[in-house]
Amino acid sequence: MASSRLAAAMFNRMDLLTCFVFLLVLGLTQRLHLLPSVPLPEEFLSDAMIRPSGPVLGEEIARGPRRRLLEAPSQAEDREAQRRMVRAAVERWKKEQRARDKREMNESMPDTQPPKGERYLLGPKITDWDEQRADYVRKHPGSNETRQGKPKVMLVTGSQPGMCDNDVGDFLLLKSLKNKLDYCSPRDIQIYYSTAILDRSMDSFWVKLPLLRKLMLSHADVEWFWWMDSDAIFTDMTFDVPFETYEPHTHMVMHGYDSLVYGQKDWAGLNAGIYLIRNSQWSLDFMEDLAQFGVKGPMRDAAGVKLFKELETRPMFEGDDQSAIVWLMVYHPEKYAKHIYLESKYQLHSFWPTVTGRYEELMDKYHPGYGDHRWPLITHFVGCKPCGKIGVIEYEATQKCVENMERAFNFADNQVLRKFGYEHLHLDTFQVVKINFTTYKASEFDSHPLKYRQLGI
């Protein structure tokens, strides 16, 4: 009898030992990701063994010896943990980078306030730039023309020196630059993208003045400079600006209306986010006069008060270049009105809320090449500030801006992709689909770019 009880006890111990070894091996294989993480079947556990209280191995023990088995994380959980760690590290790095950028910007160069009562100078005074340019072109024949015999043009744009204050801003700037490259490359238009503030006294609206002056003096071969804000997108990829049609006395071209500027003194009668300016002595002098409204500090604040009082509908804020241009044209027409042409035959600027929701309608009725209200040359996202900080209050407005910028980009990108047999599935997505043209001659396609039929996915 005693021997039989001893044998039964040894058998139970061996059974427990076997189960324990099995559990140990199973746990190791899960830890090494050799097997998926699955709950143990109930039949492998006896009342004398560890029984988990939940469906996953390693949770609190319901009864039996008070032991705890650690749960082996799955591969998906490991990957998600790694992603969280990387995202946290990237966010810390971005925060440190932005703080460093702001600190360096404040320490990089001193303010250049002029002595009281004296004019601010963008640089050394030049009075014979037209003669210098003429001499350069005479020594380098054809240097001021493209391969097509048109005036040489440089598009100038840019963004802030540091990273954007939100995660989507840098991505939108990249797409905006890609859009400008798509438009300019086939036309031999050079692009200069600036991320530098050349004069800390000329920041915000005014950063373009010292930059354009430097570019003019260092590129005597360029006839026209085309300033374009980073939040503006080309939306007619086939329209060509008629530079050669502007009179020799025209030194600046802006989107605007004479009736609003001269008749109503409306500060929004023109738009200064996109304009053409000739490489000339007049332009250098004009930028010098304009800069007097924009010197950071008391001069800019005083200019804001002056412009608020003397222009219609202008809100009260610091001096800006658009209001200053309107003021110069209204109060000194003999010096500026003749040389600044307000263009309205094509849309050098179209305000985005009035057009982005109508793109499908335009696609049904018209085709690219008009450049006017039927198919605007440029859609300008005034007020969107894609690179700025996004708070709770601004989130909804920013989201609307982002969505419509994507539509504008895809609207323009379709005109590029169609030459390769593709287009976006619709304007709200980056996905593209193949298309089948009903015309096969390149010359016909260029003149009728919308003769196509969508095949589907």
What is the dihedral angle through the alpha carbons of 131, 135, 136, 138, rounded to the nearest 10 degrees?
140
CA atoms of 200 and 166, how far apart (whole Å): 23
Q: Spell out the alpha helix ranges (H) of 49-143.
A: 75-108, 129-139
Q: Residues 187, 146: contact at Cβ < 8 Å?
A: yes
- Nearest partner of 377 among 352, 348, 397, judged by Cα: 348
Beta partners for 410? Answer: none
Query: Residue 20 belongs to what H/E stretch?
Result: helix 2-31
Q: What is the pLDDT of residue 93?
A: 72
CA atoms of 437 and 5, how far apart (whole Å): 90
Q: Which residues does 227 contact at the CB level (< 8 Å), separation at least 6?
A: 156, 157, 208, 212, 273, 274, 275, 276, 277
Structure tokens at 404: 């419509």
CA atoms of 235 and 434, how far apart (whole Å): 21
Q: Which residues does 219 contact at the CB level (< 8 Å), separation at least 6?
A: 154, 279
Q: What is the pLDDT of residue 16?
A: 53
Rg over alpha carbons for the chain, rounded to the nearest Å, is: 34
Greatest alpha-carbon pair distance for the chain in Å reads 127
CB atoms within 10 A of CB 49: 16
Q: Residues 227, 274: contact at Cβ < 8 Å?
A: yes
Backbone angles phi and psi of 221, in degrees to 5: -80, -15
Q: Residues 48, 15: contact at Cβ < 8 Å?
A: no
Average pLDDT across each block of 10 residues of the chain; the chain has 457 residues. List them in order: 48 52 51 42 41 41 42 66 78 71 56 71 95 97 93 96 84 95 96 93 93 97 97 97 94 97 96 98 97 94 96 94 97 94 96 96 95 97 82 66 95 95 94 74 44 35
CB atoms within 10 A of CB 223: 21
Backbone angles phi and psi of 435, in degrees to 5: -130, 160
CA atoms of 333 and 336, how far apart (whole Å): 5
Residue 225 corresponds to which amino acid? Answer: F
CA angle 335, 339, 344 (to 5 degrees): 130
CA atoms of 202 and 243, how far apart (whole Å): 29
Q: What is the pLDDT of residue 74?
A: 65
CA atoms of 233 and 350, how far apart (whole Å): 10
Q: What is the pLDDT of residue 35?
A: 41
Burial pattern 365-404, b for ≥16 Cβ within 10 A else e, equals eebbbbbeeebbbbbbbeebbbbeebeeeeeeebeebbeb
CA atoms of 414 and 426, how far apart (whole Å): 10
